[in-house]
A and B are shown apart, each in its own frame.
Chain A
Amino acid sequence: MWDYTDKVKDHFLNPRNVGEIEKPDGVAEVGSIACGDALKFTFKLDENGKIREAKFKTFGCASAIASASAMTEMIKGMTVEEAAKVTNQDIANYLGGLPDEKMHCSVLGREALEKAISFYKGVPILSQEDKIVCECFGVTQKEIERAVRENRLSTVEEVTNYTKAGGGCGNCHPLIQEIIDSVLAQPSAAPAAMPKLSNIKKIKMIEETLEREIRPALKHDGGDIELVDVVGNRVMVATRGACSSCQASNLTLKNFVEVKLRELVSPDLMVEEVPA
């Protein structure tokens, strides 16, 4: 049985915004019945250019229904520009996470959103240079590249989980590997391209980074640090040992701890010292 979060179950059993809007501003159909997932998505704007209504119809498993329901809830009240920034990871995070094998459901939601926005703007989405890589599920090179880049995927199996590419006959596995290699070979993109972390993931990564990278260095100088709390992007720490009485500890926190955490976890983090 899939390990679905309560939020996934809730959005599956009580899906929000099921239906189809008549005369929509944006409309998209993605997936196909042969692939086992299909989504029809429509939205309508209000007079201020914000999304007033968003509706969907889905043929697919519980997580496909939940992802579509979540996506429509998330974008209501957004402008088209804001909605265009919603990523598949945002949809998964909204649901408290999805099993790896089901990440493609969140990708389907994002694809529908993107396609509907293109429809609204009147721009075609499939550019000339793009080509189908996975014949079984009709996944293009650009789609795979994007999934690899945005979700930092490194194996064919992960690409299959996120895009379905390679989940059929398997003939395209070498091609997918080539795409992964070429995307990963590119210098890492601007910080904005880093994935948005869920709080749990963020805290875990902060803890790991402290354990692995930071505490050993501080201990070397007779000091230590302890994670007290994480609120949004504020990382609250307490200093211990030699650090707690050291005049330079504030400098260490900013120049070493914060730099490391920004580099390894998220560029938005700020480190603050709190009393132990």
Chain B
Amino acid sequence: MKPVYMDNNATTSVAAEVLEAMLPYFHDLYGNPSSMHSFGGQVMREVRKAREQVAALLGASPEEIVFTSCGTESDNTAIRSALSSYPDKKHIVTSRVEHPAVRALCSHLATRGYRVTELPVDGEGRLDLEQYKRALTPDTAIVSLMWANNETGVIFPVEKAAEMARERNILFHTDAVQSVGKIPINLSKTAIDMLSLSGHKLHAPKGIGILYLRKGAKFSPFMLGGHQERGRRGGTEATPSIIGLGVAAELAHKKMEIENTFVKGLRDRLEKTILETIPNAKVNGDRQNRLPNTSNISFEFVEGEGILLMMDEFGICASSGSACTSGSLQPSHVLRAMGIPFTMAHGSIRFSLSVYNTEEEIDFVLEKLPPIIQTLRSMSPYWKVGAAQVCGEA
């Protein structure tokens, strides 16, 4: 069964062009880019090209791009670097809805003598910039705010937030893992000092990431080793993956418009029709400022894992913020931070699309999903109450 893959915020397929570009660098052109011989040197040139391709996507200079192993490494490097660069400052500002790569690190740092301010969000997942401004203090070493939320797709005003941090000489980091390639980014025009990117979210392979480091921003490396990446990240370059990420960045640049027209169209049709055909369903998150590919919908009185596994029977891949799928016993921290009621949070499903989805796939999901919700609701002891509410409203 070919999967109907709508879980692109979890990971994406490696694009055919990306895979093709990578293959020679595993077996035939395996040289080390640091070597003196031309066999390695030719690979170095390809790495340089990839750096330029990534820089072009971000509106950065190539020397501001540091290759890492993943988004999590980039996040950890950025935050730890800021703290070692400003050893007298002991305060970190972040939000309640960050990815675990930032959140877990900040919770850890909170037990190591740092003060962490986790900014709340409103019911739509939005930040209050006034509150953010008040959180910035002379003791603040770094702000780390995600550009777009992985669960809801809600976009934070990071450009504005970065300016406010710069006015106070505070380093600003953003986890842009979900937004790169989906919304236009031009770092040369922003006050962002550091940015994390992950290859596998934009059709490059897993195991490759980027840390953007603004020229002139203070930096202290996390991975010590060889002189690779100008001493900013030790370790032999993952050449096939770097070359693949370069091609993926170029593709993302070209397809940004498709993402914001075609993909957005698919998402909007999926969402609109679900809301029309399934009662007691609601979109989570600010629908105005949102990634074009993401839709997080709650189905009241049912539980997300059941929905996912029933969709799985048809090959439909999505994810959920329910407790049963989170690995903990509580629903997603993002939905909880937004104050989504339990009756809704447990039944939340995230569809995240890509340029490789089709109209037919949307039709397929729209055909299969309503009976699934109906089946699960018929089993739910709470559904009678919900149905009565619908009748009352009608």
Q: 4 closest A-B pairs (Cβ-Cβ)? A: A167-B329, A61-B324, A61-B305, A36-B323
Q: Which residues of A are interface residues toward B (Cβ below 8 A)?
A: 2, 9, 12-13, 15, 18, 29, 33-36, 38-40, 57-65, 101, 136-137, 160, 164, 167-168
Residue of B nearest to A32 (CB): B342
Interface centre among B310, B330, B342, B381 (most CB of A within 10 A): B381
Within 8 A of A (CB), among B310-369: 310, 313, 322-325, 327-331, 342-343, 346
Judged by a CB distance under 8 angstroms, whether B394 is at the interface is no
Can you identify 14 A-B contacts, CB atoms within 8 angstroms? A13-B309, A36-B303, A36-B322, A36-B346, A59-B301, A59-B381, A60-B306, A62-B324, A63-B324, A65-B379, A137-B329, A164-B329, A167-B329, A168-B329
Nearest to A34 among chain B residues (CB) is B342
Number of B positions contacting A (CB below 8 A): 26
Closest residue of chain A to B346 (Cβ to Cβ) is A36
- Say whether B342 contacts A33, CB under 8 Å: yes
A13-B313, A60-B324 in contact; A33/B382 too (CB < 8 A)? yes
Q: Across the interface, do B330 and A168 meet the contact criterion of CB distance under 8 Å?
A: yes
Chain B residues contacting A63 (CB-CB under 8 Å) are: 324
Query: Are A39 and B309 in touch, CB under 8 angstroms?
Result: no
Whether the pair B303, A29 counts as a contact (CB closer than 8 A) is no
> Closest Cβ of chain A: how far from B206's Cβ, in Å?
17
Q: Which B residues are in CB contact (< 8 Å) with A168?
A: 329-330
What is the bound-complex CA distance between A29 and B380, given in angstroms?
12
CA distance A9 to B323 in the complex (A): 19
Interface of chain A, main secondary structure: mixed
> In the assembly, what is the distance between CA of A13 and CA of B372, in Å?
10
Do B330 and A18 have beta carbons less than 8 Å apart? no
A58 surroundings in chain B (CB, below 8 A): 379-381
CB-CB nearest in chain A for B347: A59
Determine the chain A residues whose CB is within 8 A of the CB of B325 once the complex forms.
61
The interface of chain B, by Cβ under 8 A from chain A, is: 301-306, 309-310, 313, 322-325, 327-331, 342-343, 346, 378-382
Q: Shortest CB–CB separation between residue A24 and chain B, in angstroms?
A: 14
Complex CA gap A190/B287 in Å reads 61
CB distance from B332 to the nearest CB of A (A): 12
Listed residue (B301, B306, B328, B331) with the most chain A CB atoms within 10 angstroms of its CB: B306
CA distance A65 to B309 in the complex (A): 12
Given known contacts A36-B331, A168-B329, is B305 in contact with A62 (CB within 8 Å)?
yes
Knowing A36-B303, A160-B329, the reply to whether A18 touches B346 (Cβ < 8 A) is no
Q: Which residues from chain A contact B305 at a C-beta distance below 8 Å? A: 2, 61-62
CB distance from B169 to the nearest CB of A (A): 37
Which A residues touch B313, using CB under 8 A? 13
Contact status B329-A61, CB under 8 Å: no
A38 B329 Cβ-Cβ under 8 A: no
Residues of B within 8 A of A61 (CB): 303-306, 322, 324-325
| A29 adjacent to B309 (CB under 8 Å) | no
A12 touches B309 (CB 8 A): yes
Known interface pairs A33-B343, A160-B329, A168-B329. Does A40 touch B381 (Cβ–Cβ under 8 Å)? yes
19 additional contacts (CB under 8 A) given A12-B306, A59-B381: A2-B305, A9-B309, A12-B309, A13-B313, A34-B342, A36-B322, A38-B381, A57-B379, A59-B380, A60-B306, A60-B324, A61-B306, A61-B322, A61-B324, A62-B305, A63-B324, A65-B379, A101-B327, A167-B329
